[in-house]
Structures are given as C-alpha cells and as structure tokens.
Structure 1
Amino acid sequence: MHGKVAIVTGAGQGVGQGIARALATEGVDVAVLGRTASKLESTCVQLRDKGVKAEPFICDVTATDEVPRIVAAVVDAFGGLDIVVNNAYHGRLGPLLSLDDDGFQQGFRSGPFATFTFMKACHPHLAARGGGSIVNLVTSAMMRWDQSNYGAYAAAKAAVQSLTRTAAAEWGRDGIRVNCIAPLALSPALKGWSEANPEEAEEFLRTVPLGYIGDCERDIGRAVVMLVGEDARYLTGATVPLDGGQARF
C-alpha cells in the first residue's frame, strides 16, 4: 500500500488515531483531520516515525461548506487520494424526551451530513486514481437489544449505513468501494466511562463474547487495513461488526 494517500477524520485520538497508525504501518501517507491542533500534530509525529508523510488539517466536519476546500488542500499536498475514513462524530446521548431539536440534530450534522459531504467531495479524486475505498463508521447501537439512551446516535448512524449502501451501488462502476465498520474500541470516552463506572463496565464487558474491548489500532485499525486493501477487493456495501461478537448483525 506504499504510495497510497488516506484522509482520516477525527484522527487526533482514539479510533481515528488507531486507524491512521495502522494505515501508516502499511506505508500509507495520511492526512490527519480533526479539531484540535495539538492532538493532530501528536498523531502526525507518530505516523512520521513509521516513515510516511503525515500532515494535519484543522477540520470541524459539521462545517460542511469547508469540506470541499479541505479535500482539495489534501489532494494538493499529497498529489492524490485513495482512501477515505469518515470517523469523526459528535452527538448527544440520553432519553429521547431529554433531547431538544439541536441536541438530536447534532449527531446528524457530524454523522450523515458530514459523511455525505466528504464522500461527494472525495469522489472525483478517488475516481481520478482509478478507484479507491471509503470506510464509514457506524455503531452496534443500531442493533442494540435495548436502544434506550442511544436513540439519536443509532438514528444518525443508521443514516450513514444507508448512505454507504447507496454509494456502493452507484460508485462501483468508478472502482470505488464503500463499506462500514461498527467498532467497539477502548476510546478515551469509553475508557473514562469505564473508570468512572466500574461495576457497570464489568457488566457491559460480560456481553462481549471475546471478553475484551477492542484496541483502537490492533483490532480496529488492522481491520480497516484489510478492508481498504486488495484482499477485500470484492467487498462493497457491507457493514463489518468489530465488536467482539457483542451485537447480532
């Protein structure tokens, strides 16, 4: 995969950083997108240590008017684009009746609205290289046995999954594959919640057949490497659960 170029949103920490690190291990140059400059630069240092080119781009994915400009800047800096990972997300949790309209819509702005804008802006650049791969992040909360408190999150991610299926159907002729992953990973947010709620965290862990929460790089990032590589060349429009068997997809 040496010489390929990837955009990873929300790559300053957690799952996005793990995916970026895994791609860099395979020689992929990475445009590191996110909102916090210091976190982006920290990720870039880690990637450069692996011998690849990595550059930070300040980006709030909800500012969709800016997305085409940022994508163009990435292509200008790296000379092309082959892989897009739509990881960034910021939304509200809680019972439906606790959410005002803005709180409910927040996840849609950073989820399907941002994902659509990035996919559309990246399409011509991927097609110009003869095709490429897009990976969108969804969640097992869409399939959760009890969706209480996850309604807005699950709804936004279900829309991302639907967009993924449509793009896969429409863009296959351009050589572009589009898939989803539904990760369960030890992100900073989940780690913080687990430490603050040890009894609940222990009960939650018992619902994961493999018995542990996934590592952002080894369990999630490496799976993305597989998805965007030649070994998965015939896979598109799929949702791959990376949750240790927790959810029934």
Structure 2
Amino acid sequence: MAQLLDKVALITGAGQGVGQGIAFAMAEAGVSVVVTGRTLEKLEKTVAEIERRGGRALALTCDVKSADDLAAAVETTVGSFGSLDILVNNAQEVPLGKLEDVDDDAFLAGFISGPLASHRLMKLARPHMLARGGGVIFNFVSSAMIRWDMATFGAYGAVKAATQVLTRAAAAEWGRDGIRVLNIAPHAESPGLKWWIENNPDEAQAFFKTIPLGRIGRLQEDIGQAVVALCAPEMGYLTGATIPLDGGQAYFA
C-alpha cells in the first residue's frame, strides 16, 4: 500500500470496535490518522498503540451530533496533517427495539448521529478532497436494512437505509471530482455486537448459523484491511456500492 503513504484519514468512533480496527489498518498502511470519539482516554489508547507500531495519529474528542465538533474535526485534521483524503463515518447511535418502544429522542439521535452527521462531514471533507484531486468516503450501513424479519429493527434499519441513499447520491454527484463514496456493511467483533449477543443469546446462535464463513469478522484483519484495500488506486472504478464485509451472510441485490 505504498500509494497510501502520503494520505490522511479522519475516522469517527475510533476509540474502540470497528473504528479502531480501521484506524490500526490505515496506520499500518502508512496513512496519517485522526481518530475521534467522545471519550478521550479511549482515543489516546488507540493513538498510543498506533505510535507504538510506528504510525502517525492524533486523538480528537468529537460528538458527531454536534455540527461545531464536526467542523472542528475537519479543520484540525487539515491543520495538523495538511490534507484530508479518506473519511470514515463510523460513529453513530442506533435506535433498537420495537417501534412502540423507540421514543422520539432515540429515533432522532439515530438520524442526527447517522445520516445527518455523515452528510455534514461529507460536505466538510469535499473541498479538501477536491484540492487533492479526489478522495474516498466510507459510510456504514447494515444488513438490518434487508432482514427477512424487521421486527425490533425498524428504526435502526431506517437510519441505515437513509445513509445508503446518501452514499449513492454523493457517488453520483461527486464522481467527476474523483471522490468515491462507498457503503460498508460489516459483521465484526465490536462492543455493540458483543452486547447484542449477550442480551439475545438464542437469536445470536441462530444468526451465526446464517454466516457461510462461520465466524464474526476481526476488527483490523477482516474489516480494517478490507477498507484500506478499497482505498487503493486499483479499486478506483468502484463507487456508490454497498460492500458486505459479513462472511457472506447478507444478500444485497
């Protein structure tokens, strides 16, 4: 991945889970990484591990529901490393439960931290990517959008479906600018998935049986390195797509 040595990435929700796995993989490919999240201690641990491995990283607290925080994150990224080439919109709150149990606050938090935050960051990143002749943006969706049984996943799926549409629009509008925009739909060993497994053991056991590869994805090796590979020039003709990093479980028609 020598082509990525001069690149700069901004990754939200990188203090743990999928975001952290992507940050580790990006840094090992030579990308300078800005990791954001709400808990500075977690971010500093991510940065310390990246630096221990010889990479460059910066920790920055950021609440993706705050437009001011998002603007500051992009400004700090460019001010610290000189550019912004890769944006990973990973952090968001997800409203789970039956429709009658999801209140307005949870529903709105999902949309504000999900598609609205992604929309804001994409627009903030675009001028800097234009100045570099292009870039890559990753948004996160889920197979929850296409479940055979949407019970308890309605609000969550609605948030993710909105994000998928934004990605398609950005890919169509910004393709001539050299900016590629992709959806990632992962199954990974994240804290959120572990919580779901612990609280839904019977459903989780049935769920695992539907994964052809028979396991959950590893954060850096399966998710992070795949995201890095999608940034390579060899993948430069791919945009607007939903990439299922899920062991073959979902079928995105």
Equivalent residue in structure 1 for 2:208, among 181, 184, 205: 205
Distance 1:151 1:22 in 2: 32
1:178-205 Cα offsets, whole Å, 9 max, x none, are 0111001110122233245444332221
Distance 1:171 1:49 in 2: 37
1:138-165 Cα offsets, whole Å, 9 max, x none, are 1110111111111111101111110101
User: What residue in structure 1 maps to residue 219 of structure 2?
Assistant: 216
Indicate the SS of the match to 2:136. Answer: strand
Equivalent pair of 1:205/1:211 in contact (CA under 8 Å): yes
Distance 2:17 2:36 in 1: 13
Indicate the SS of the match to 1:178. Answer: strand
Indicate the SS of the match to 2:243. Answer: strand
User: What residue in structure 1 maps to residue 91 of structure 2?
Assistant: 88
Alignment of 1:58-137 (within 5 A): 58-137=61-140
Question: Aligned AA for 1:19?
Answer: I
1:65-122 Cα offsets, whole Å, 9 max, x none, are 3322221111001111110000001122000111121121111011000000000000
User: What residue in structure 2 maps to residue 55 of structure 1?
Assistant: 58
1:139 aligns with 2:142: yes
Distance 2:240 2:155 in 1: 23
1:34 Cα deviation from its structure 2 partner: 0.4
Of residues 3-12 and 100-109 in structure 1, the stretch that sits farther from structure 2 once superposed is: 100-109
1:228 Cα deviation from its structure 2 partner: 1.2
Distance 1:73 1:197 in 2: 40
Distance 2:116 2:145 in 1: 18
User: What residue in structure 1 maps to residue 19 of structure 2?
Assistant: 16
1:171 aligns with 2:178: no
Ranges of 4+ aligned residues in structure 1 off by more than 3 Å:
195-200
Seen in structure 2, the aligned counterparts of structure 1 residues 99 and 196 have a Cα distance that, compared at 3 Å, is closer
Equivalent pair of 1:134/1:228 in contact (CA under 8 Å): no
TM-score, with normalisation over the residues of structure 1?
Answer: 0.97
1:198-240 Cα offsets, whole Å, 9 max, x none, are 4433222111111101111111111101111112110001100
Question: Aligned AA for 2:65?
Answer: T
Distance 1:66 1:190 in 2: 27
Indicate the SS of the match to 1:240. Answer: strand
Equivalent pair of 1:47/1:54 in contact (CA under 8 Å): yes
1:19-70 Cα offsets, whole Å, 9 max, x none, are 1111111111100010000000010011112222100010000012332222
Equivalent residue in structure 2 for 1:238, among 222, 225, 241: 241
TM-score, with normalisation over the residues of structure 2?
Answer: 0.95
Question: Aligned AA for 2:59?
Answer: P
1:40 aligns with 2:5: no
Structure 2: stretches of 5+ with no match in the other structure: none
Distance 1:201 1:75 in 2: 42
Structure 1: stretches of 5+ with no match in the other structure: none
1:123 Cα deviation from its structure 2 partner: 0.4
Equivalent pair of 1:91/1:153 in contact (CA under 8 Å): yes
User: What residue in structure 1 maps to residue 8 of structure 2?
Assistant: 5
Distance 1:103 1:34 in 2: 19
Of residues 197-206 and 153-162 in structure 1, the stretch that sits farther from structure 2 once superposed is: 197-206
Distance 1:170 1:51 in 2: 37
Indicate the SS of the match to 2:42. Answer: helix
Identity %: 57
Equivalent residue in structure 2 for 1:153, among 122, 145, 156: 156
Question: Aligned AA for 1:110?
Answer: S
